[in-house]
Amino acid sequence: MADAPLIVQLVGLTKVFGEGEGRVEALRGVSLDIAEGEFVAIMGPSGSGKSTCMNIVGCLDAPTGGHFLFRDVDVGALSQDQCALLRRHYIGFIFQGYNLLARTSALENVELPLIYRNVGAADRRALAMKALEDVGLKGWEHHTSSQLSGGQQQRVATARAIVTEPQLLLADEPTGNLDTARSEEIMDLLTGLNRSKGITIVMVTHEPDMAAYAQRIVTFRDGLIESDVPAQQATR
């Protein structure tokens, strides 16, 4: 990925919560480059700053200092509406808890981001069907969440994240609620999407065996990057 353009650039990023005795420095000057098409795992103990960093990259929070550039655009200079458009059109999210609508079919869950984009019903359905097929759920379109296993629910959540063809996919503990076999299925799915569609993936995880699927492992500690190494080197 050495010659690929950068999709994410973090320059001296800081984030402070609270004031006085309650002041917490969640990020203390983080600089990180992620190139287009990379698969990066973010690791670190609780309170290390990894989730705070992920929220900033997902335009869900703003840094206290430093800069976050998305494709050379300084996100700090954007309005709230522009940040919302950036999230909607360029970034997909996968969460540990799936976040599916309970009494709604897999197809309707996947269609949801397209509704926010005002995509017509026929096109919306076709795109959602294709996304479900891409994650191996063809034939399961009309099943509700309660009729799906945990692994299948996470596949629906992944289809929902990729149906808009995002340039960046943020996965926050995507295997945290799954057993080993289902976790491996999801990781095989993510690596396949990374390779076949060229989607840049940034994944937060506590699990070294899941991080090993990535190309790079970035480890946070005490609001700083402790290490940034190829996955093969980190797992030796």
The DSSP line for 84-117 is: HHHHHHHEEEEETT----TTSBHHHHHHHHHHHT
Residue ranges of the chain with pLDDT lower than 70?
Answer: 1-2, 234-236
pTM exceeds 0.85 for this model: yes
Angle at 11 between CA 199 and CA 93, to 5 degrees: 30
Backbone φ and ψ for 136, nearest 5 degrees, come out as 80, 25
Give the separation between CA 158 and CA 110, rounded to whole angstroms: 9
Give the tens place of pLDDT for each residue, 192-228.
999 999 999 999 999 999 999 999 999 999 999 999 9
pLDDT attached to residue 117:
87
pLDDT attached to residue 177:
86
pLDDT attached to residue 232:
80
Does residue 125 sit in helix, strand or coil?
helix
Give the tens place of pLDDT for each residue, 178-193.
889 989 999 999 999 9
pLDDT attached to residue 235:
53
Does residue 177 sit in helix, strand or coil?
coil
pLDDT attached to residue 20:
87
Where do the domains of the chain lie?
Answer: 6-100+149-234
Q: What is the CA radius of gyration of the chain?
A: 18
pLDDT attached to residue 38:
97
223 DSSP β-pair partners: none
Cα torsion 100, 17, 76, 44: sign: negative
pLDDT attached to residue 96:
82
24 DSSP β-pair partners: 17
pLDDT attached to residue 2:
56
Q: Domain 6-100+149-234 sits in which CATH superfamily?
A: P-loop containing nucleotide triphosphate hydrolases (3.40.50.300)
Q: Report the side by side order of strands in the sheet with 168-172.
A: 91-95, 168-172, 200-204, 39-43, 216-221, 224-230
